[in-house]
A and B are shown apart, each in its own frame.
Chain A
Amino acid sequence: MKEKIADLEEKARRLRVAIVKTLHKSQSGHTGGSLSAIDMVCALYFHKMRHNPQDPSWEGRDRFVLSKGHAAPALYVTLAECGYFPAEDLMMLRRLGSHLQGHPDSKGTPGVDVCTGSLGQGLSMANGMALGFKLDGKDNRVYAVLGDGELQEGQIWEAAMAAGHYKSDNLCALIDSNGLQIDGDVSKVMNVASIGDKFKAFGWNVIEIDGHDMGQIISALDKAEAHKGAPTAIIAKTVKGKGVHLFENKASYHGVTPNDEELPEALRCLGCCD
């Protein structure tokens, strides 16, 4: 287990490097929220989810919904690492004609099942998938990563109500709780405090963790899978921009990419010498 965790931690570090390089190249996109979510996305794709990069539409696969679609770089570098498409494609992020759109687009990117980017809609889609699998008596699981600012959208709570109501225990929501959104602190812009209590009130199983502790992420995902009769919300305390001190906990790095001066230092922080 220790080895597995160390392995995932090393993967996450490499994915962070890829995020920084990709965003430096594109000079457009979202840095902070990609770096805060990457540990969870990494654990899902390399530990938890059943999926097959050689056959992206394999029916037996679990599903992933990046509800906070602006963190697309986190998803893209992970899909590339899995082998869904060549890593060189990352350098085309957000360019005209690229299959890597600014926000996840199921029409063109192998491994992307749903279009997201407009916040607040992902959990509904994830629950729809979960309900569909139940109807068919299938054991596929559905994972959705949400932002804490995103929780301000009313539709999230409509989805939470529905998933609780239908006891979608094949659904797991991971809340990337980095405490920041565009205009500043989530607690100051529009307080969504006591996230765990809110999900509990809608009948969810709630697990609170440190979203950068790979051991805690894995154990929470395992517990979620074992929990029957209710969907699980993993409330993950995270740091926006995690891993690069230049970007950490700064709302100003929400939608800003590393520039030429910042790149070497960012890569150095991530233990990257090339």
Chain B
Amino acid sequence: MIATRDAYGEALAELGGENDKIVALDADLSGSTKTGVFAKKFPNRFFNMGIAEANMVGTAAGLASVGKIPFLSTFAIFAAGRAWEQIRQSLAYPKANVKVVATHGGVTVGEDGGSHQSVEDIAIMRAIPNMTVIVPADGEETKGAIRAAAAYKGPVYVRLGRNKVANVFPAGHKFEIGKGNVVAEGKDLTFITTGLMTAQAVIAAEKLKEEGISARVLHLGTIKPLDKELVLKAAQETGAIVTAEEHSVVGGLGGAVAEFLGEECPTLMKRVGIYDRFGLSGKSDELLKYFGLNAETLIEQAREIVSRKK
């Protein structure tokens, strides 16, 4: 059990040793985002840009245009929020080879409160053409995702969390951009999940078994591009979908799945997430409970959707 941001720090420092084109940038949060691990190992290839996120994104675009592979980090709210247009214009529009690795996404930032809880970043990053959006479930997947992002040519947004999360994937798990993973098989419904909600779906599926409900768990580590094949298969084979994410239900994973299925294969659906409101201060576990981001909610929604199928 480690935090995805810790896995990022390790993976980036490791990659830095393999490829000297990799550079890192941060905006006065290198201890929290874990780019500090890279900075310690490769001080010459690390740029602390100060509390100036928009400039950091532009600088990364410049570095990329002369052949570097920049990884830039800050909290998700300041990356996707403050620097949205810089990311759109200077990174995505020209397909700049820059990786935005945003940490402290979602409500698990906790006590800092609503101003610091980004529950819209997946939606706004997904809306930008050329942008790849990755939300890993655990540390292992994060390591794979960072590696895949470095190998991929173009802009990537990776959303990570603050707290330790349970492992979903075994050590050495191979991550492929755009490919989902069926974590558990099932035929009555499918949980389509991302980030820390995947571990919750695994728990929910186990409990539902006792009630005679067979739930598939499809983890989408990449929100964009969407793994259409696995989503379509889940819809056709199980006939009911419950999505779950630590994010607004507007425009995130749930939105992406609903848009696709609405056109290709209209299917009974429920979205678990935050219903169009801001976060607030509290301990992260309390907040997850408060917003119903847990296995219990998934179980309730599964029961309900299965009963509606009949």
Residues of A that sit less than 8 Å from B by CB: 26, 28-29, 69, 94-98, 100-103, 105, 115-120, 149-150, 152-154, 181-183, 189-190, 192
Q: List 22 A-B contacts (CB under 8 A).
A: A94-B113, A94-B282, A95-B281, A96-B283, A101-B114, A101-B115, A102-B113, A103-B115, A103-B116, A105-B114, A117-B115, A120-B82, A149-B51, A153-B51, A153-B52, A154-B55, A181-B28, A183-B29, A183-B48, A190-B28, A190-B51, A190-B52
The reply on B225 being an interface residue by CB < 8 A is no
With an 8 A cutoff between CB atoms, is B110 at the interface? yes
Cβ distance A183 to chain B, nearest Cβ, rounded Å: 5
Instruction: Write out the residue numbers on chain B whose beta carbons fall within 8 Å of the beta carbon of A115.
Output: 115
Q: How far is the CB of A8 from chain B (nearest CB, A)?
A: 30
**Contact across chains for A103 and B113 when beta carbons are under 8 A apart:** yes
State whether the Cβ of B266 lies closer than 8 Å to any Cβ in chain A: no
Q: In whole angstroms, how far apart are the Cα atoms of A237 and B78 in the complex? A: 28
Q: Which residues of B contact A153 (CB under 8 A)?
A: 51-52
Please name all residues of chain B whose beta carbon is closer than 8 Å to the beta carbon of A118 when the two chains form the complex.
77-78, 81-82, 115-116
Closest A residue, CB atoms, query B117: A102
Within 8 A of A (CB), among B103-161: 110-116
Interface centre among B50, B283, B287 (most CB of A within 10 A): B50
Which B-chain residue is minimally distant from A150 (CB atoms)?
B51
With both chains docked as a complex, state the minimum distance between the C-beta of B277 and any C-beta of chain A, in angstroms.
12
Scan B30-71; emit 1 where CB is below 8 A from any A CB, else 0: 111000000000000000111110110000000000000000
Please determine whether B290 and A96 come into contact, CB atoms closer than 8 angstroms: yes
**Chain B residues with Cβ under 8 A from A105's Cβ?**
113-115
Of B26, B81, B115, chain A has the most CB atoms within 10 Å of the CB of: B115
| A152, B26: Cα distance in complex, Å | 13
> From residue B8, how far is it (CB to closest CB) to chain A in Å?
17
With a CB–CB cut-off of 8 A, which chain A residues contact B112? 102-103, 117
Most chain-B Cβ atoms within 10 A of its Cβ — which of A97, A183, A190, A192?
Answer: A183
Contact residues in A for B290 (Cβ distance below 8 Å)? 96
Taken together as a complex, chains A and B put the C-alpha atoms of A100 and B113 apart, in Å, by 10
Contacts of A182 in B (CB 8 A): 28-29, 31-32
Contact A94 B50 (CB under 8 A): no
- Pairs of residues from A and B, 7 with the lowest C-beta to C-beta distance, nearest first: A190-B50, A96-B282, A102-B113, A117-B115, A152-B50, A28-B111, A94-B111
Among B28, B77, B81, the residue within 8 A (CB) of A149 is B28
Chief secondary structure at chain A's binding surface? loop
18 new A-B contacts at CB < 8 Å, known A96-B283, A103-B115, A190-B52 = A29-B111, A69-B115, A94-B282, A95-B282, A96-B287, A101-B280, A102-B113, A105-B115, A119-B51, A149-B50, A149-B51, A153-B51, A182-B28, A182-B31, A183-B26, A190-B49, A190-B50, A190-B51
B286 at the interface (CB under 8 A from A): yes
Q: How far is the CB of A123 from chain B (nearest CB, A)?
A: 14
Complex: how many Å from CA A28 to CA B110? Answer: 10
Q: Tell me, in angstroms, the Cα distance from A103 to B290 when the chains sit together.
A: 20
Q: Which of B290-305 contact A (CB under 8 A)?
A: 290
Q: Which residue of B lies closest to A94 (CB)?
A: B111
- CA–CA, A189 to B55, complex, Å? 14
Of B29, B49, B281, the residue contacting A96 (CB under 8 A) is: B281
Task: Give complex CA distance A72, B113 in Å.
Answer: 12
Across the interface, do A189 and B48 meet the contact criterion of CB distance under 8 Å?
Answer: yes
Which A residues touch B50, using CB under 8 A? 149, 152, 181, 189-190, 192
Neighbouring A residues of B31 by C-beta, 8 Å: 182-183
Do A102 and B49 contact each other (CB < 8 Å), given the known contacts A96-B290, A117-B116, A118-B78? no
Bound-state Cα–Cα, A116 to B110, Å: 17
Q: How far is the CB of B135 from chain A (nearest CB, A)?
A: 22
Residues of B contacting A117 in the complex (Cβ-Cβ under 8 angstroms): 112-113, 115-116
Q: How far is the CB of B288 from the nearest CB of chain A, in Å?
A: 11
Q: How far is the CB of A69 from chain B (nearest CB, A)?
A: 7
A54–B52 Cα distance when bound, in Å, is 39
On whether the beta carbons of A190 and B48 are closer than 8 Å, the reply is yes
Chain B contacts for A181, CB-based, 8 A: 28, 50-51
* Alpha-carbon gap, A78 to B55, bound state (A): 35
The 8 A CB mask of B248-286 against A (1 = contact, 0 = none) is 000000000000000000000000000000001111001
Cα of A149 to Cα of B49 in the assembled complex, Å: 11
Q: In the assembled complex, how far is the CB of residue B261 from the closest CB belonging to chain A, in whole angstroms? A: 35
